[in-house]
Structure 1
Amino acid sequence: MTDSSATIDYGTLMHDAMRDLIKRVFLRVAEQGLPGDHHFFISFDTNFDGVEIAAWLRDRYPDDMTIVLQHWYDNLDVRDDGFSVTLNFGDSQETLTVPWAAMKTFVDPSVEFGFRFERHEDDDPDGPDDGDEAPFAELEEEPAPRQDAEVVSLDRFRK
């Protein structure tokens, strides 16, 4: 007999699957580099247990931070529990360690892919996420604006 009050937590299962997908992408990038125009915007909770960032960065981004992996990054180390990467903040290279569970958003604008990880009250000791957007760290120059695609009529290719 089954417990009729138990439910399948699809939200948690989906988040775990997305974290695994991002981990697999990072493993490929760590081995082969970023292909083509791919680049990532990753926002994370700077107060999450296991996040390691320089004190001056924590002062500047006390709640959350968005990093960009695009033109310059080094030492991308992908682990089961998270990743670490060295980024250039102006003239200062800093290594950040981010657990997968600390991620709030992952976006690859080159292919219009993104995912927002919803927080539950029991995930955050300070209460539910208030929905404020994470500030973007000034790590890279802004990507070039996307150009609109040309619309081509298929009649041109018919015989």
Structure 2
Amino acid sequence: MSGGIDYGNLMHRAMRSLINDVLTDVQEHGLPGEHHFFITFDTQHPDVEIADWLSDRYPGEMTVVIQHWFDALEVNPEGFAVTLNFGDAPERLYIPYDAIKTFVDPSVEFGLRFETHEDEDDDDEPTPPDDDPDGGEDEGQTHDAEVVSLDKFRKH
């Protein structure tokens, strides 16, 4: 073994596998209990597929919430596709795991952060609008998502 063990890449691969497992379970069984996800991703990643108006509005990164309304969640080993509602405008997104910067489930205070050299100074990023979730009860497999800032959920 000449190059040593690359623990950083091994950990990132394990974390992405965990996200895949969690989303696969949600695809098959829906969100259990109070679980919901805040997923921040790089909108400029070459394999991200989002509407032009979303990439124009969020040119660097975007955070989506999978909670009360989402539809057609499709998970594969490289990423996931989901339809989310942005102000009564359903949009299909494809997010590869390699584009994910953070994955947070605030209901159980669980979070993953993928560190890169570019993440050293997040204070220069624009903060997305802080929309209130509708707080409605789950009905079937349809759930809500919104764009929010993770700062709102950080403990100081």
Question: TM bucket by the smaller chain?
Answer: 0.7 to 0.9
> Match of 1:25?
22
- Structure 2 gap ranges (5+): 136-156
Query: Deviations for 1:53-93, whole angstroms, at most 9, x for unmatched residues?
Result: 00100111000000000000001000111001000000100
Amino acid across the alignment from 2:133: E
1:75 corresponds to 2:67: no
Amino acid across the alignment from 1:64: E
1:115 corresponds to 2:112: yes
Q: 1:1-159, aligned counterparts within 5 Å?
A: 2-3=1-2, 6-120=3-117, 128-132=118-122, 135-136=127-128, 141=133
Q: CA deviation at 1:130?
A: 4.3
Amino acid across the alignment from 1:21: L
TM-score by length of 1: 0.77
Give the direction of change, closer, same or farther, for the CA distance of 1:139–1:68 in structure 2 (3 Å limit): farther
Query: Could you tell which deviates more after superposition, 133-142 or 78-87?
Result: 133-142
> Match of 1:124?
none
Root-mean-square deviation (CA, aligned residues, Å) is 1.9
Give the direction of change, closer, same or farther, for the CA distance of 1:52–1:95 in structure 2 (3 Å limit): same
Q: CA deviation at 1:131?
A: 3.0
User: SS where residue 38 of structure 1 aligns?
Assistant: coil
Moved over 2 A (4+): 128-131, 133-140
The CA distance in 2 between the partners of 1:82 and 1:53, in whole Å, is: 13
User: SS where residue 19 of structure 2 aligns?
Assistant: helix
- Structure 1 gap ranges (5+): 121-127, 144-159
The CA distance in 1 between the partners of 2:81 and 2:130, in whole Å, is: 18
Give the direction of change, closer, same or farther, for the CA distance of 1:66–1:142 in structure 2 (3 Å limit): farther
The CA distance in 1 between the partners of 2:109 and 2:134, in whole Å, is: 16
Give percent identity, aligned residues only.
57
